[in-house]
Structure 1
Amino acid sequence: MQSMMIPRKVFDEIESLVKQFIWGSSEYKKKMSLVGWDSICQPKCCGGLGFQKLRDQNILFLLKLGFNIVSDKEALWVRVIKAKYRMNGILLESIR
């Protein structure tokens, strides 16, 4: 999840399992949710449980990885990635 974009269908399936766990429901015994998922994903200071949506978390991990590639040019793993994908020169030109 920290190094590649996860498909939306996988996120939906995982979040469905998490919701079933929170509400205490199963495949055979469905329970009605008393609070919306968006309310649960709010920070604790705003009345939520502090959960994060998996899609948002995945995007944040990828942004952090991209930032580290741009800012820490001398790290070994950055040099390996740049050599593997032939990212010589300016990063934006390499993406095109």
Structure 2
Amino acid sequence: MTNILFPKDLLEKIISIIRNFWWKENKQEGAGKSICFRSWEDICQPKHLGGLGIKNIITVSKSLVTHSAWMVAAQKDTFLSNVLKAKYHPHSSFWKATSTGSRSVFWSSIQNVKHFIHKNCSYQIQEGSINIWSDPWCPIWDNIHSHLVLSTTVFPLPNQVKDLLIHNEHVWNTSLINQVFDNHAAQIILTTPIVQQQSEDILI
């Protein structure tokens, strides 16, 4: 379950077997079905909330695969991340990788849960080496192209976040940002915090 997101139908069948085992002795005379004295949602609640602490395996399956996706996104296993990049998204970041084409069950599982971390992850900007256009570094990163000022004369466009900083001062280059992005995006970028140290950007 750590690397494969099993189909929901299969997990529901397993849950059905567990429920039948739990309630199998509680049957009305002549009835074919067990009597469930509490809802399965209540049974799966933690003990301190009145449940029995039985794990919801659908949630467990998603959380385990999401953890694997996090390990790939954060490059906790550099070798695995590099292999997946070379095979499935050589010309894009993990965040912009598509799920089209031939792929392994593991990569398909990661793609199916990627939206969970996509919505809840961001890089903590330190040295600013992450890509402006394909990495999560500010709230509008995934559609930041649509906030470009069409009449911009800045060429080439900044590529890394550090290109938007004043050199050697580690603060936002307000003038450059206002030239490249519209007012809405500029305000969001200028309020994005920067950690005052020259270490690698951290996915949090």
* TM-score, length basis structure 1: 0.78
Go from structure 1 to structure 2 and tell me whether the alpha carbon gap of 1:74 and 1:34 turns closer, same or farther (over 3 Å shift): closer
1:16 is matched with: 16
Q: How does 1:1-96 map to 2 (within 5 A)?
A: 1-25=1-25, 30-72=33-75, 75-95=78-98
Q: Which AA in structure 2 matches 1:86?
A: H
| Sequence identity percentage | 24
The two structures, once aligned, show a CA RMSD in angstroms of: 2.3
Gaps of 5+ in 2: 26-30, 100-204
Deviation string 1:2-55 (CA, Å, 9 cap, x unpaired) is 223222211111001000111135xx9642111110100101110111112121
Q: In structure 1, the residue corresponding to 2:95 is in which secondary structure?
A: helix
Aligned-residue offset at 1:77: 2.2
TM-score (structure 2 length as normaliser): 0.41
| Higher helix residue share | 1
**Which of 1 and 2 has greater Rg?**
2
